Structure 1
Amino acid sequence: MSNNHPPPGQSPDDDPFSKKPQEPTPPSAGGPQEPPPPGGPPPPGSPYDRPPGGAGPYGGGGQPPPSGPNAFGGAYGGADPLAGMPPLADFGRRLLARVIDALIVFVPLFLISLAFGGWGEMADTGDTWDDITDQVNTGRQWIWSLISLVAYVGYDTLMVAKGHGQTLGKRLMKIRVAMLNDGSVPDVSSSLMRAIVLWVPALICCFCLWWLVIIVTILADKPYKQGLHDKAGKTVVVSAPQ
């Protein structure tokens, strides 16, 4: 009968993302690392506090992504849970994907509005600017704003959570949304938080200004290129497998 038992207090069924790999780390790779306690704070090597030049696919010391079932984050935790993930998506593809998704939702809403006499009624009556402003402030316009909000937020949430991290636009651009900690597909709550931060300010009060804020935060953020909506959902946007 074997005397090799797990150390006291450590269960073999612990969350694999909170412990080191089962294989011993060779001395040439930097020596063994102490696993974080279950339920404790993230290790010093967590991607949330790793400097831009650290190891991993987003720093200078990363290694090529592996192939196989663990290619998007791995089955075990370690110094960098993002090791093995694809490279971050470039801004151009992210912007084109967002434009495509916005049009996918906007066109049906516009056609429905025409069918119910929305935009078409204001365009055909020859109203003055004051008359148009009065119509915008009516209850009907607020209802259409609410419908638009539900449509955009719902589309983004469901497509990201149920579409393997891809909206239709992202699928065309071959990019996807992934959780920052392990590269998995965001769940509904993370996708919803991301969509709310992305769309609610834009559709309620400051359309152009909010998109400018989102663009600036994506371009300025290091090293993960996270917009405010990515930070809210704890996500990143990466290249998708071909």
Structure 2
Amino acid sequence: MSFGDPNNPYGQPQNAPQGQPGYGYPQQPPQQGYGYPQGGQPGYGYPQQPGYPGGPGVPGAPRIASMGRRFGARLIDGLILFVIYFVLSLAGVAGSISAIKDCDPNASDYQSCVDDAASHMVGAVAAVVGALMICSLLYEWLMIGLVGATLGKMAVGLRVVKADTGQKPGLGSSIIRWVIPLVGSLACGIGQLVVYLSPFWDKSGRQQGWHDKAASTMVIQN
């Protein structure tokens, strides 16, 4: 009976092929953490970039604008437009008053002169309203589309971006965003107020108003 080689007490074949299982010491498991990730495990390779805007709590996602800041921005913009409206109205009324003063009370056409001045005042008011709408359009449309913020939004640190890319809205999305509240204002201003309050009912976590959803935009904090 052969008891094996005394120099090989473990009884393993001396000519065992290298790298074959079952011989010698057990193989070490393959090391992880080098090169590209295996099996899609997190923590290796290049980190995934979150899509814009990510979502609430996602690292790197933008901060959604609070309704308090949005109200403050709207208030500042409203004051700016009111100053423009006041200046234009004052100029129109002053011109009409001057025309009435020019009427001679002793002249036979005094009443017709006053009537003409009153008609001029009504026309001036209508012109002021039209000018205000044009100013509001240019103010909101151009600044939101090209800059991404009005003066009011700049003052409180807000800007409007495309919801899918984070870029400036552009003139197309900006005009849509302006028209929606304008249409709402035709119902005695109630519809416009509802549009501006609609972010409270947004379930997406982005606080998008109806005008934002129609234009595919969102308001964020700088």
**TM-score scaled by length of structure 1:** 0.56
Q: Choose 209-218 or 147-156, whichever is displaced more.
A: 209-218
Counterpart Cα distance in 2 of 1:102 and 1:172: 13
Query: Pick from 184, 195, 198: which aligns with 2:178?
Result: 195
Aligned residue type for 2:156: M
Q: 2:63 aligns with which of 87, 103, 118?
A: 87
**Closer/same/farther in 2, CA of residues 114 and 24 from structure 1, 3 Å limit:** farther
SS at match of 1:225: coil
Do the aligned partners of 1:157 and 1:191 also contact (CA within 8 Å) in 2?
yes
Aligned to 2:200: 219
> Alignment length, in residue pairs?
157
**Alignment match of 2:41 (pick from 28, 32, 50):** 28
Compared CA separation, residues 112 and 145, structure 1 to 2 (3 A): closer
Match of residue 239 from structure 1: 221
- Report the equivalent of 2:9: none
Partner of 2:137: 153
Question: Which has the larger share of helix?
Answer: 2
SS of the equivalent of 1:56 reads: coil
Change (3 A) 1:188 1:169: same
Aligned position for 2:30: none
**Partners of 1:92 and 1:25 in 2: how far apart?**
47
Task: Confirm or deny: 8 A CA contact 2:144 2:150 kept in the other structure.
Answer: yes
Cα displacement (A) at 1:169? 0.7
SS at match of 1:64: coil
For structure 2, the 5+ residue unaligned runs are 1-35, 43-50, 98-117
Greater gyration radius: 2
The sequence identity of aligned pairs, in percent, is 33
Q: 1:63 to 1:228 in 2, by over 3 A?
A: closer
**How far apart, in 1, do the equivalents of 2:170 and 2:221 lie?**
19
Is residue 92–residue 124 contact of structure 2 (8 Å, CA) maintained in 1? Answer: no
**In 1, distance between residues paired with 2:221 and 2:139?**
21
Q: Which residue of 1 aligns with 2:11?
A: none
Listed as ranges, the gaps of 5+ residues in structure 1 are: 1-22, 30-45, 48-54, 66-83, 122-133
Secondary structure in 1 matching 2:41: helix
Q: For residue 101 of structure 1, give the secondary structure of its aligned residue in structure 2.
A: helix
Match of 1:100 in 2: 76
Cα distance change of structure 1 residues 147 and 87 upon mapping to structure 2, 3 Å threshold: same
RMSD of aligned alpha carbons: 3.2
Change (3 A) 1:26 1:199: farther
Q: Secondary structure, in 3 states, of the residue corresponding to 1:27?
A: coil
TM-score, normalised to structure 2, is 0.61
Say whether the 8 Å CA contact 1:57–1:87 is kept in structure 2.
Answer: no
SS in 2 for 1:188: helix
> Is the CA contact 2:202–2:209 (under 8 Å) kept in the aligned structure 1?
yes
CA contact (8 A) 1:153 1:199 kept: no
Measure the CA separation in 1 of the matches of 2:73 and 2:63.
17
